[in-house]
Structure 1
Amino acid sequence: MRKLLKIGVLLIGFLMALAAPLLAQRTVSDASITYRVEMPPEQLQMEAMLAGSSMVQYIRGNHSRIDMNFNVVNYIYIINIREETVVTLMDNHGDKYLIRSDKKAYQADMKKYEATQFTDQKEIREIAGYKCRKAIGKMEDGTTFEVFYTIDLVPENREYNRRFVNLKGIPLEYEIVLRAGSKMRVIATKVDLSPVPASVFDLPRGYKEITAEELKKIRG
């Protein structure tokens, strides 16, 4: 009898050990993640100009928003996952523009990022209080970038950030490939899992609506 009891205790302990990683995971429907921005070291002039830049990722169910504050210019991306649309807001020294992307553009972007594959690496680091694993993301065109993500937080809707639709958790540090080929890095400084107000995803007033082609001309 004692032998059976001992075996039972050992079996329960074994099953609990297996379940521990699953119990630690939390499915996230609402979150606000604040990141600091680091520019590539080879762009010292830009790094000085953009010192103190930050990024905030908001998640609320089928809505997502990314605020990128670069001091000289600010971008806001408001994503409606259910309707498959993206609105881009740009504030360049008070010149404010609004650009809408339709379902066709949304689906084209989604298709591109669905091909991104992530390969886990051995390196582990703690970021904003969460244990994060390093992975290398490889895009369809062969471009690679680093990401550190936590499996403790799993997004309820994986399309909240299309570049990470295939990632097994939420990224708390990652590289963003710039048009020139260099890489900007964002590192989480705060993770807030409180409910995000619906008003965060309302479109602000005072922006002039333009097309994507007109935006390209403004950017030069």
Structure 2
Amino acid sequence: MKKITFIVCALVCGIQFVYAQRLVSDLKIYYKMELPAEQAQMDAMLNNSHLVQYVRGNMSRIDMNFNVVNYIYISNARTKTMLIMIDNHGDKYMIRTNKKEFEKELEEYRKIQFVDQPEEKEIAGYKCRKAIGIMSDGSKFEVFYTVDIAPENKLYNRRFVNLKGFPLEFEIPAKNNAKIKVLATSLEIGPVPASIFDTPSGYKEISQEELKKLRG
């Protein structure tokens, strides 16, 4: 009898462990972006930049606002397609990424290895662990993630497809080998309007090759 009780207890404890991470279908996260001190002085217009991540079912959207240049990424995890929109001083361009291109880029992101570190801290009310992301070219970036929540959509941000939790602080590359810190300030779990994922109007559709020419 004692043996049976122990087994039942172990099973219950195991179930509690499995369900400790909350899977969510809809969420919105607001991040502030902190520039390195030296870059903040050179690019004063980039101060108060921010990033917003939306997730609703198979759909996800990332808005990156650098004040002078804004980017919107709308992706569909079911069809594995993405729209990229760029607003550069009012010049608006849109690039479509098809399934083949999406999966090719996804393969590169799958090569990122995340190595856990001992450091922990609380961000936006969630306990987070530190990890170092190591890319295929050997470059590295820091990330703090929580294991308390996880989107059902595993491709909400392909950069973190191998991460064991949800990122609430991370680094993205900037000019002159600098890195921008992206730090969550609020996280809302709940319905996200479907209209968030509608294709914005007023953008001229161009190819990747045309975008490269525009960038010089």
TM-score calculated relative to the size of structure 1: 0.89
- Equivalent pairs counted in the alignment come to 216
1:101-116 pair list within 5 angstroms: 101-116=97-112
Contact kept? 1:40, 1:47, Cα under 8 Å: no
CA distance in structure 1 between the partners assigned to 2:42 and 2:214 by the alignment: 19
CA displacement, residues 39-60 of structure 1 (integer Å, 9 cap, x when unaligned): 1233133452211111001111
After superposition, the Cα gap between the structure-2 partners of 1:193 and 1:184, relative to the gap in structure 1 and judged at 3 Å, is same
The aligned counterpart of 1:153 is: 149
Say if 1:80 and 1:91 are closer, same or farther in 2 by CA, change over 3 A: same
Mean Cα displacement is larger for which, 141-150 or 93-102? 93-102
**Per the alignment, in what secondary structure is the counterpart of residue 158 of structure 1?**
coil
C-alpha RMSD of the superposition: 2.3
Letter in 2 for 1:112: E
Q: Distance in 1 between matches of 2:68 and 2:214?
A: 15
Change (3 A) 1:204 1:44: closer
Deviates more, 1:99-108 or 1:112-121: 99-108
Q: Which runs of 5+ in 1 are unaligned?
A: none
> Any unmatched runs of 5+ in structure 2?
none
Equivalent residue, structure 1, for 2:177:
181
In structure 2, distance between residues paired with 1:121 and 1:47: 32
1:43-92, CA deviations, whole angstroms, 9 ceiling, x for partnerless residues? 13345221111100111111111000111111100111111111111111
Aligned twin of 1:170: 166
Following the alignment from structure 1 to structure 2, what is the Cα–Cα distance between the partners of residues 44 and 35? 17
Map of 2:38 onto structure 1 = 42
C-alpha distance in structure 1 between counterparts of 2:42 and 2:149, whole Å = 33
SS of the counterpart of 1:43?
helix
Q: Which residue of 2 aligns with 1:78?
A: 74
Shift of 1:218: 2.5
Larger Rg: 1
Question: Which 10-residue stretch deviates more, 175-184 or 105-114?
Answer: 175-184
2:96 is aligned with 1:95: no
> 106, 119, 128: which one pairs with 1:132?
128
How far apart are 1:217 and its partner, in Å?
A: 2.7
Q: Secondary structure at the match of 2:200?
A: coil
Which amino acid letter does the alignment assign opposite residue 205 of structure 1?
A: S
CA distance in 2, matches of 1:169, 1:123: 15
Equivalent in 178, 194, 201 of residue 198 of structure 1: 194
C-alpha contact (below 8 Å) 2:40/2:47 kept by paired residues: no
TM-score, normalising length from structure 2? 0.91
Secondary structure at 1:24's aligned position in 2? Answer: coil
Q: Indicate the larger mover: 98-107 or 147-156.
A: 98-107
Shift of 1:17: 6.1
**Could you report, residue by residue, the CA deviation over 1:146-201 in whole angstroms, capped at 9, with x for unpaired residues?**
00000001221211111100111110000012364221110000101111111111
Q: C-alpha separation between the residues in 1 aligned to 2:151 and 2:33? A: 22
Structure 1 contact 155–169 (Cα < 8 Å) conserved: no
Aligned-partner Cα distance in 2 for 1:219–1:48: 22
1:200-219 aligned at under 5 Å gives the runs 200-219=196-215
Aligned partners of 1:201, 1:35: CA distance in 2, in Å?
19
Helix, strand or coil at the partner of 1:159: coil
Verify the 8 A CA contact 1:149 1:170 in the aligned structure 2. yes
Work out the percentage of aligned pairs sharing the same amino acid: 59
